[in-house]
Amino acid sequence: MASGNIVGFLHADDIYANDKVIDKVAYVFMKNSIDSCYGDLQYVKKDNINRVIRHWKSSEYEYRKFKYGWMPPHPTLFVKREIYDKYGSFNTEYKIAADYELMLRLLWKYKISTHYIPEVLIKMRIGGASNKSLKNLIRKSSEDYKAIKNYNAGGIYTLFLKNLSKIPQFFIRSKN
């Protein structure tokens, strides 16, 4: 239902890190011949967006990193509409890991181009479906593994590294 040429998904509880995010994303698309871009993300307390719980500092994109559990923070991903028209949007067979499946499909399988914006773009309130319960965490891991195998992006080691890579995010302090 989005009407623009660039599509980003902002969850109902989340906010842009500042009032310049959209300008910055538009500028990156204007200056680079790319299909997508992404940045960093902060998980914040539900009742205090200035209280950072986890800082997801991403990094420059390298195709091979997916095999080592890397992925960009999904709420920070902005993609040209034409890419969604060509390769599809969220696969609703994935109830919790549709975002991961989408990024594997676009960046890994179809190798769309992307650009890293090294700053916090989104503040995401904690409490999403993937970590609400042990049952959801197991389902998310199962769906992640299904996507990894579906796109031949690794195996159980990739899933292990994907989950392990989150631990340092609780100790990183942002300058943004």
Give the 3-state secondary structure of the chain.
CCCCCEEECCCCCCEECCCCHHHHHHHHHHHCCCCEEEEEEEEEECCEEEEEEEEECCCCCCHHHHHHCCCCCHHHCEEEHHHHHHHCCCCCCCCCCHHHHHHHHHHHHCCCCEEEEEEEEEEEECCCHHHCCHHHHHHHHHHHHHHHHHCCCCCHHHHHHHHHCCHHHHCCCCCC
Domain residue ranges of the chain, discontinuous segments joined by +: 6-170
- Taking residue 60's Cβ as centre, other Cβ atoms within 10 Å add up to 9
| pLDDT tens figures, 115-144 | 999 999 999 998 765 556 678 888 999 999
* Alpha carbons 14 and 124: distance in angstroms, whole number: 5
At 135 the pLDDT is 83
| pLDDT above 90 as % of the chain | 75
Tokens found for residue 40:
């960093």
Q: Which CATH class is domain 6-170?
A: alpha beta
* Alpha carbons 173 and 25: distance in angstroms, whole number: 23
Task: Using the predicted structure, report yes or no on whether residue 1 has a pLDDT greater than 80.
Answer: no
At 161 the pLDDT is 87
C-alpha closest to that of 8 among 71, 72, 75: 75
| pLDDT tens figures, 17-52 | 999 999 999 999 999 999 999 999 999 999 999 999
